[in-house]
Amino acid sequence: MTLSIGIHDIAFATGSHRIDLAELAARHGVEANKYYVGLGQSEMSVLANDEDVVTMAATAAKRILDRGDSRAIRTLIFATESGIDQSKSAGVYVHRLLGLGSDVRVVEVKQACYSATAALQFATALVARSPEEAVLVVASDVARYELDSNAEATQGAAAVAMLVTADPAILEIEPITGLYTEDVMDFWRPNDHTTAIVDGKLSITAYITAAISAWQDLAGRGGPAYDSIERFCYHQPFTRMAVKAHRKLAASVAGLDDEAADAQVAGTLEYNRRIGNSYTATIYLALATLLDGDEDLAGKRLGFLSYGSGAVSEFFTGIVQPGYRERSRAAENLALLDARTVIGDERYLELQRFSPEDVANFVTARETTGPFRFGGVDGYKRVYEAV
């Protein structure tokens, strides 16, 4: 009998603040619909100065741990492209904040927005070796671009935590995947930059090429037929990008028109529309949105297209498990998004421009509404604490 392995639980966290993209549109001198419709984004999450990828990751993971599970977590994999140290894994801070045991391995993985999917696949392999164990995968990122740039409206921040186990309650990950890698300079962040460099047109082209190519590899390896897949979750740097990519795939593979293609991704967009870009986390926010929807997905096959600039992509599938709604966080997730403090452009710019005079020693003001905070830096040592 084949062992079923996949996502047993999933939860997310984001920043304490949110800003309506109409605020940015006014400063940029454009109509709000350029962002509402053109990008498919309505607002974005903004971090307080005492929040970062570690505090979001720990908060998302705590939501899972608070439910409890009898299987021991033996591995924590932290996926990010917003790394806070060139050597130490951000996951080690999360490990301490969560109170995990010393018998847990921790590692950080990176390949732009793709790395969370790599972490998920690595986790399934670890569980296959030791089915009694669990792996905690956390994807956490802050998307930052230059102020007043075309990309500014596609910023955001979030973390998604997933507990990977045998006999999962939510989603069984199927073993056949499609892969595509190509050296493309569409998006990158040099070591001396705090914001990314992006070639927008090339990035869109590279994304679509990778999506279709990864699908072709999946099909060539005997993966599921297109018409056996009920819904598709995509990486969403902005939600219209996912829609465009799926239209191309659906037309080339199945001959579907735009209306039919749009219906296959429509239920995956809302959380990303409200949070903004969160790099590694967006594809799993798409999954969370879909699982929280009204449609009964039990027994249905889902398709996933993960893309990371540079570029690596993977197409994989999973089967939604009977009883998945018993682990639903729908009401809790909507309340979390609604509870964010609404800020205007002036406060947003103040937060974005925060830069301590002495990067080796500074203290942050207590502002977060979450259970963990970034207290600042003491002699180049980052300080994290429970609130």
* Residues carrying an active site annotation: 81, 113, 235
Four-residue CA torsion sign, 317, 75, 163, 275: negative
The owner of tokens 């403090």 is 341
Closest CA to 211 of 184, 240, 249: 249
Residue 1: per-residue pLDDT: 58
Closest CA to 115 of 145, 84, 83, 72: 83
pLDDT digits (tens, 9 = 90+) for 102-144: 999 999 999 999 999 999 999 999 999 999 999 999 999 999 9
Residue 106: per-residue pLDDT: 98
pLDDT band at 69 (very low <50, low <70, confident <90, very high): confident
**Which residues 6+ apart lie within 8 Å of 369 measured at CB?**
16, 339, 341
pLDDT digits (tens, 9 = 90+) for 33-52: 999 999 999 999 999 999 99
* Element (DSSP H or E) covering residue 25: helix 21-28
Helix (H, G, I), strand (E, B) or coil at 278: coil
Mean pLDDT of 88-105: 97
**In this structure, what token pair is assigned to residue 298?**
């039990």
Average pLDDT score, the chain: 97
Annotated binding residues, written as ranges, equal: 145, 244, 277
Mean pLDDT of 145-168: 96
Alpha helices in 221-352 (DSSP H): 239-254, 258-265, 270-275, 282-291, 330-338, 345-352
**In this structure, what token pair is assigned to residue 72?**
């021991």
Helix (H, G, I), strand (E, B) or coil at 281: helix
The total domain count for the chain is: 1
Closest CA to 13 of 278, 233, 386: 278
Residue 112: per-residue pLDDT: 96
Residue 102 has, within 13 A of its CA and on its CB side, a CA count of: 0
**Which residues 6+ apart lie within 8 Å of 328 measured at CB?**
291, 292
* Element (DSSP H or E) covering residue 117: helix 115-129
Annotated binding residues for (3S)-3-hydroxy-3-methylglutaryl-CoA, written as ranges, equal: 145, 244, 277
| Distance between CA atoms of residues 290 and 297, nearest Å | 9
What amino acid occupies position 27?
R
Four-residue CA torsion sign, 359, 361, 365, 366: positive
The owner of tokens 């060539």 is 220
| Distance between CA atoms of residues 79 and 158, nearest Å | 12
- The DSSP call for residue 353 is T
Four-residue CA torsion sign, 196, 154, 137, 304: negative
Q: Which residues pair with 308 in a beta bridge?
A: 312
pLDDT digits (tens, 9 = 90+) for 229-263: 999 999 999 999 999 999 999 999 999 999 999 99
Helix axis angle, 90-98 relative to 53-65, nearest 10°? 40
Which CATH number is 357's domain given? 3.40.47.10
**In this structure, what token pair is assigned to residue 157?**
């921040």
Residue 140 has, within 13 A of its CA and on its CB side, a CA count of: 33
Residues of the domain holding 97: 5-386
Residue 175, Cβ density class (10 Å: 0-12 exposed, 13-18 middle, ≥19 buried):
middle
